């Protein structure tokens, strides 16, 4: 399944990492974080000590059919984040 995690902070990155085992996941977050993920993978420490190879970018360029989008931004950023992608989401009839 294709999954986009919109808001690759602590929660979004962890959820994306765990889902990436069996799914095609894209993390969308800030430039510094996504650049680090692209360069070194996503490092999760604590209960899980593992590095994940996962796609990351600062924006969503395309949303394919049957893509699950998980919003993990802070509440104050929800509206802004949704407005940035609403034109990429196809209407379902």
Domain topology for 2-86: Rossmann fold (3.40.50)
Q: Where are the domains of the chain?
A: 2-86
The string of DSSP codes covering 12-39 is HHHHHHHHTTTSEEEEE--HHHHHHHHH
61-87 confidence digits (pLDDT tens): 999 989 999 999 999 999 999 999 998
Is the model's pTM score more than 0.85? yes
Average pLDDT over residues 12-23: 97
Cα 82 from Cα 56, distance rounded (Å): 18
């Amino acid at each position: 399944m294709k999954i986009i995690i919109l808001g690759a902070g602590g929660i979004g990155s962890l959820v994306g990492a765990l889902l990436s085992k069996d799914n095609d996941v894209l993390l969308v977050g800030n430039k510094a974080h996504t650049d680090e993920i692209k360069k070194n993978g996503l490092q999760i420490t604590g209960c899980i000590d593992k590095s994940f190879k996962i796609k990351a970018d600062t924006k969503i360029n395309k949303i394919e059919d049957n893509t699950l989008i998980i919003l993990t931004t802070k509440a104050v950023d929800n509206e802004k984040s949704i407005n940035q992608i609403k034109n990429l989401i196809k209407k379902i009839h």
